[in-house]
Amino acid sequence: MLHAIGLMSGTSLDGVDVALIESDGISISSFGPTGFRPYDDEERALLRRALADAASLADRKARPGALREAEALVTEAHAEAVERFLAAYALRAREVDVVGFHGQTVIHRPERRLTVQIGDGAALARRLGIRTVHDLRAADVAAGGQGAPFVPVFHQALVRRAGLAGPVAVLNVGGVANVTWIDADAPPIACDTGPGNALIDDFMFERTGAGIDRDGAAAARGRVDPAALDRLMAHPYFAQRPPKSLDRNAFSREAVSGLATEDGAATLTAFTARSVAAIIAHLPAAPALWIVCGGGARNPTLLRMLARETGADVRTAEDFGWSAEALEAQAFAFLAVRSLAGLPLTFPTTTGVAEPLSGGVLAEP
Ligand SMILES: Nc1ncnc2c1ncn2[C@@H]1O[C@H](COP(=O)(O)OP(=O)(O)OP(=O)(O)O)[C@@H](O)[C@H]1O
Ligand SMILES: CC(=O)N[C@H]1[C@@H]2OC[C@@H](O2)[C@@H](O)[C@@H]1O[C@H](C)C(=O)O
């Protein structure tokens, strides 16, 4: 068993999640503490500029425009996050066997065999004095895979550890939503389902300056506009069979631009719920249980809409003693251990690679 720290900075641009686990990459022997290092408004603005400057990237090593400055910020923020975490829990770097460093996705175009997560893994390893596995998505995309989602193999370990009979769906609602369908020991089936919180966050940022509909309060007061929801659901992505994945900015919120803020929030929240339910038609069997993780698990309005749209039992990661917020960081700790062991990170049924494939680049301190 190794002590591994996982680091995730996701598409919501809210900050760096940190988690410590003990695992051999197959089972999880213990969950350690978790941490979070938020981005401040200035850092988030720089990351948004970097996302915009990355839209035209063709060379995954190029760092035009704000990307070089943003990569330095991402590396520094992750280093600070780990250093504060170690200090908070009186841990020493030599007690950590490996760090799994996802970095910050700035562009994801698997159809062009291009995915870029900024963050300097070699610099982070040197700064922390800990072996660091980074650039975890590159091998999958280079092999023709979707390059996402990567959490399914960890979801499967969680479901197995909880002794849950399948079929169970584990749904991560981050900026983008992704689902893992798990039944017994069959390979997990997974894909991005559609929008998670990103459209809601961006809409609320535009209308109120706060990049969140906290507790789904605005959506709860609003009314879903059926015509706008139908327009949103007409996107061809929902008819595609898995494996499939998304860039954060894959969907437009133009359909709700004419709605009042609360009705727009309600309609975008319903869009997330209905697009999640649309994946059921592409699964071997409808899950009777959905376990929601990611920040969206904190949105009761979304959870209510998910239960209505799926017709299933919708619970949260916390209901099972998991950490909704830190689960992705835990996953990248698990994936880093698997990378060191040469175990597969992705599968034909999760990203569409031809064979189970390992990945990640190891940087020694
Ligand atoms: N109390 C809350 N009420 C409503 N939404 C919330 C709440 N707390 C968090 N969120 C949502 O969760 C988001 C952060 O979730 P999370 O950290 O899972 O995203 P992420 O990991 O960056 O995304 P991704 O998994 O796509 O990379 C916030 O941007 C916000 O939209
Ligand atoms: C390219 C990329 O960073 N994709 C993210 C994004 O955020 C959620 C969803 O889209 C998922 O596909 C993925 O992250 C999670 C951690 C994953 O790979 O499982």
Contacts (Cβ under 8 Å, ≥6 apart) of 142: 113
90: left (phi over 0), alpha (psi -120 to 50) or beta: left
- Could you tell me the CA-to-CA distances from 121 to 4, 129, 146 in Å, in that order? 15, 12, 22
- pLDDT (0 to 100) of residue 247: 84
- pLDDT (0 to 100) of residue 197: 95
Nearest protein CA to atom 17 of ligand 1, as residue = 295
Which ligand is located closest to the Cα atom of residue 14? 1
CB of 149 shorter than 6 A to ligand 2: yes
Q: What are phi and psi of 329, to 5 degrees?
A: -65, -45
Q: What letter represents residue 226's amino acid?
A: P
- pLDDT (0 to 100) of residue 165: 85
Which ligand is located closest to the Cα atom of residue 146? 2
- pLDDT (0 to 100) of residue 311: 97
Q: What letter represents residue 110's amino acid?
A: P
| Interval between CA 101 and ligand 2 midpoint (Å) | 14
d(CA 129, CA 123): 10
User: Sorting pLDDT into bands at 50, 70 and 90, what band is 11?
Assistant: confident
Return the DSSP state at 21: E
| Interval between CA 341 and ligand 1 midpoint (Å) | 31
pLDDT at residue 324 greater than cutoff 90: no
Count Cβ neighbours within 10 Å for each residue of 115-139 and write b for 16 or more, e otherwise: bbbbbbbebbbebbebbbbbbbbbb
Give yes or no on whether 2-145+353-363 and 152-320 have one common fold: yes
pLDDT at residue 49 greater than cutoff 90: yes
- Residue ranges for the binding site? 10-17
Give me Rg for the CA atoms of the chain.
Answer: 19
Q: What percent of the chain has pLDDT over 90?
A: 94
- Rounded to an integer, the average pLDDT of 338-348 is 97
Measure CA of the first residue to CA of the last residue in the chain; give whole Å. Answer: 21
Summarize pLDDT for 224-261 with one digit per residue, the tens.
Answer: 999 999 999 999 999 999 999 888 888 999 999 999 99
- pLDDT (0 to 100) of residue 224: 98
| Interval between CA 364 and ligand 1 midpoint (Å) | 32
User: Sorting pLDDT into bands at 50, 70 and 90, what band is 317?
Assistant: very high
CB of 149 shorter than 6 A to ligand 1: no
- Could you tell me the CA-to-CA distances from 201 to 14, 21, 110, 206, 261 in Å, in that order? 10, 30, 25, 9, 12
Pairing of strands 168-173, 176-182: antiparallel
pLDDT at residue 187 greater than cutoff 90: no
Which ligand is located closest to the Cα atom of residue 198? 1
d(CA 27, CA 158): 8
- Rounded to an integer, the average pLDDT of 70-99 is 98
Q: Which CATH fold would you assign to the domain 2-145+353-363?
A: Nucleotidyltransferase; domain 5 (3.30.420)
CB of 272 shorter than 6 A to ligand 1: no
d(CA 184, CA 349): 15
Could you state, in order of their start, the residue ranges of all structural domains in the chain? 2-145+353-363, 152-320
CB of 105 shorter than 6 A to ligand 2: yes
* ipTM of model over 0.90: yes
d(CA 335, CA 338): 5
CB of 245 shorter than 6 A to ligand 2: yes
Size (the chain), residues: 365
Q: Which CATH fold would you assign to the domain 152-320?
A: Nucleotidyltransferase; domain 5 (3.30.420)
User: In the predicted model, what is the mean pLDDT of the chain?
Assistant: 96
Q: What are phi and psi of 202, to 5 degrees?
A: -65, -40
Q: Which range, of 41-45, 210-214, 243-247, 316-320, averages the lowest pLDDT?
A: 243-247
pLDDT at residue 185 greater than cutoff 80: no
User: Sorting pLDDT into bands at 50, 70 and 90, what band is 12?
Assistant: confident
User: Sorting pLDDT into bands at 50, 70 and 90, what band is 117?
Assistant: very high
Q: Six-digit token pair at 329? A: 């960081």
Pairing of strands 114-118, 98-109: antiparallel
User: Sorting pLDDT into bands at 50, 70 and 90, what band is 84?
Assistant: very high
User: Sorting pLDDT into bands at 50, 70 and 90, what band is 44?
Assistant: very high
Summarize pLDDT for 118-148 with one digit per residue, the tens.
Answer: 999 999 999 999 999 999 999 999 999 999 9
| Interval between CA 299 and ligand 1 midpoint (Å) | 9
**CA triplet 249, 252, 258: central angle to 5 degrees?**
145
